[in-house]
Amino acid sequence: MFAQAAQDLGYRVHVFEPQCPCPAGAVADRETCAPFDDLAALEGFARTVDVVTYEFENIPAGPLRVVEGLVPLMPSSEVLHICQNRAREKAWLRENGFPHARYAQALEGDIEAAAAEVGIPCVVKTADFGYDGKGQMRIATPQDLAQASAIFRGRRCVVEQWVDFEREISVICARTAHGETRVFPASENIHTNHILDISLVPARIPAAVEEAARDLAVRVANKLGAVGLVAVEMFLSSWGEVLVNEIAPRPHNSGHWSIDGCETSQFEQHVRAICGLPLGPTGIRRPTVMVNILGDAWRQVGSRLVEPNWDAVLSVPRARLHLYGKPEPRPGRKMGHFTVQGESVADALELALAIKSRL
């Protein structure tokens, strides 16, 4: 989706990816297939382009410093270094005074000591390689604590205080090298089994909360000094406070609604930011609901894999289908999404849920 947005603006795109063919490579102008730690391949790749960006956090920051020595990397490897590790990210939030849930580190998997520090209920998360709920577990009972201690023994973890929240929201902020910022409307996010299920824009939150969340995202992006997009996931607590949960220095799943529902999509905005173009407007065209399509929507019938009922989306004028071209549907794997627009977010949500039930 980023490659397509870049091409719409006249750019050519070169993708570097260990597992080929990949969906981005299928639409890019050029694709290099090599491990992220293949320094010779990275150097060769870097010498063919004018600017490099990345699309998820689980990339070794070290090799990217090699790229950074040859060509601008946006956001920088230091931003990735902070955001790709929960312990470093939490420490950065604390050092810079951003509101977040109380936490403790369990450096060698000593979950019991960390849980005693923050209190139960709490959540234990591995410091590295977290995504879509992987590497985390909620602790609510002594039995949970004993189980978590066994599962995470010897692993670097963060144990966070459980936040009783009213809403999960996210705000995406675009920032240029000159410090210009533009903020997307807050997205209200509904998760199922720790994976983003539905996003609603505008979020069903008071205007004062929206303003506070947008201000918080701008301050995070500015403090990081990031160039490109910064997605800030937040909790709206039951006592009315907005807390930072996680930071993603890239286009974000909760911003996919913007392709159809916003004046400028998050992908075009990312291109604009890293290429030094003026940032685009971020007004909502119409209230929009985005629904993720996971690999669970495919059914195994005997030896045959049956695709979802695409007619459920494509027969509805207000719905738009986006499939990512991933070759193998697996449970929990994001294979695509659809959006629905309406006169109100309630109207769009009602239709989106009806489509999802038929999909």
Chain centroid to Cα 278, Å, comes to 24
Inside any domain, residue 85: no
- For residue 124, the model assigns a pLDDT of 94
Whether 307 and 272 map to the same domain: the answer is yes
| Cα–Cα separations (whole angstroms), residue 357 to 257, 309, 318, 354 | 20, 10, 16, 5
Partners of 235 in the beta sheet? 168, 243
Whether 60 and 40 map to the same domain: the answer is yes
- For residue 133, the model assigns a pLDDT of 59
- For residue 153, the model assigns a pLDDT of 86
Whether 198 and 128 map to the same domain: the answer is no
Q: What is the largest CA-CA distance in the chain?
A: 58
Helices (H) and strands (E) counted in the chain, each on its own, are 13, 17
Residue 142, preceding bond cis, omega within 30 degrees? no
| Cα–Cα separations (whole angstroms), residue 211 to 159, 183, 286 | 29, 11, 19
Angle at 332 between CA 134 and CA 352, to 5 degrees: 125
Inside any domain, residue 81: no
Whether 129 and 49 map to the same domain: the answer is no
Inside any domain, residue 89: no
Cβ pair 284, 185 in contact under 8 A: yes
Structural domain boundaries enclosing 37 = 2-73
Residue type, position 140, single letter: A
Q: How many structural domains are present in the chain?
A: 3
Whether 190 and 329 map to the same domain: the answer is yes
pLDDT tens column, 62-118: 888 889 999 999 999 999 999 999 999 999 999 999 999 999 998 766 899 999 999
Q: In this structure, how many other beta carbons lie within 10 angstroms of the beta carbon of residue 167?
A: 20
Cβ pair 186, 171 in contact under 8 A: yes
Cβ pair 288, 261 in contact under 8 A: yes
Domain of residue 149, CATH code: 3.30.1490.20
HSE of 82, CA atoms in CB hemisphere, 13 A: 23
| Cα–Cα separations (whole angstroms), residue 138 to 120, 141, 148 | 9, 9, 9
Q: Given its phi and psi angles, is residue 272 left (phi above 0), alpha (psi -120 to 50 degrees) or beta?
A: alpha
Whether 60 and 189 map to the same domain: the answer is no
Q: Given its phi and psi angles, is residue 105 left (phi above 0), alpha (psi -120 to 50 degrees) or beta?
A: beta
- For residue 154, the model assigns a pLDDT of 83
Strands (E), the chain: 14-17, 30-33, 103-106, 122-126, 136-139, 157-161, 165-175, 181-183, 187-192, 195-201, 228-237, 242-248, 288-294, 299-301, 304-306, 319-323, 334-341
Whether 177 and 140 map to the same domain: the answer is no
Inside any domain, residue 96: no
pTM for the structure as a whole: 0.94
Residue ranges in the chain modelled with pLDDT below 50 = none
Whether 264 and 132 map to the same domain: the answer is no
Inside any domain, residue 93: no
Whether 228 and 331 map to the same domain: the answer is yes
- Tell me which of 143, 161, 179 is where a domain ends: 161
| Cα–Cα separations (whole angstroms), residue 103 to 14, 125, 248, 281, 352 | 40, 11, 19, 37, 37
| Cα–Cα separations (whole angstroms), residue 324 to 196, 261, 294, 327 | 16, 19, 11, 9
Whether 153 and 261 map to the same domain: the answer is no
Whether 169 and 58 map to the same domain: the answer is no
For 340, list phi and psi in degrees, rounded to 5.
-135, 135
Inside any domain, residue 82: no
Cβ pair 292, 335 in contact under 8 A: no
Domain of residue 316, CATH code: 3.30.470.20
